[in-house]
Structure formats: structure tokens, C-alpha cells
Amino acid sequence: MKGKPGILVSAGLSPGEAIRSLNQQLSDPSLKSSTRILMLILLTMNKRMGSSELRALMGLGKGSLENHLEKMEAAGQVTIRKSKSFRGNGMSQTVEVTEKGLRDCKVLLEKIRGLDV
């Protein structure tokens, strides 16, 4: 896992500007949690996931996951679809990343591209 030379070269920004820009994006409340950033990246790669699958992967409780998903939904990054579960006696939830969520993740990744850490 070799790092690229230099700290940050993406998007034509100087390293200082890029770090400032990244910090600005990270002040977005929906991204003020490493759990939500992780969920956003996972959803970007998979487009949609079941909430039980997300919970198992992240090692979160039901309430904690719902709390994070609510914040992401309020930020317009995901949509949550509920449907009747055939396996249990409850409802199952499908979480789908939105266009805004994809854009946010893309910007985030663009800004860490080339970080030499």
C-alpha cells in the first residue's frame, strides 16, 4: 500500500486549500460521525443494502443504526424503504443511497485521494 508523493493534488487545489475544503465538508452534521461515513462509503459501493445486513457489518444496535440512518436521510444521502419481512414477523428495511449521497461520497473520496498517510 504505497502512498503517492505529495500530500494532496486532486481537483487542482493546493494542499492547504484542499485540507480547508475537506474540513468544510466534514462540518456537515451528516458526516460528523465515522459510522455514517463508513455507511455512506459502503452504500456507494453497493447502492442498496438491508438494514439488518448493515447492522451486522457495523456491529451496531438497532436503535443506534436507526439514529444514524435518520440523520443521513435528513441530509438527503439515503432513502429508507420498509417492506413486510417474510422471514420474521416484523418489517425489513432497505437503505438506498441517493444521488446526493453518491455525490457527497465522491467528493469525500476525491479529497482523500493522494493523501500520504
Partner 1 sequence: MARESAASPIEIKKIAERALLLQSYLLRRAWGVPYAAWSLALFVTVFVSPSEPDVALRLIVDIAVSGTALVAVLWEFRRARDTADVRNAIINVRRSKPLGYRVLLPTWVTIYAIAILTVIFFRPQAVLVLVAVYGTLAAYFYYSLRMSFPLRLPPEGKIALSSLAVAAIVSVGLLPLLGHPAPYGILWGMIVALWGFASAYARTRRPPAPTEVIPT
* Interface residue list for partner 1 (CB under 8 A): 1-4, 19, 22-23, 26-27, 31-35, 37-38, 41-42, 44-47, 56-59, 64, 108-113, 115, 117
Min dist. Cβ of residue 18 to partner 1 (A): 9
Q: In angstroms, give the least distance from the CB of 100 to partner 1.
A: 17
User: Counting beta carbons within 10 angstroms of the beta carbon of residue 111, is it exposed (0 to 12), middle (13 to 18) or buried (19 or more)?
Assistant: buried
Nearer to partner 1, 89 or 112 (CB): 112
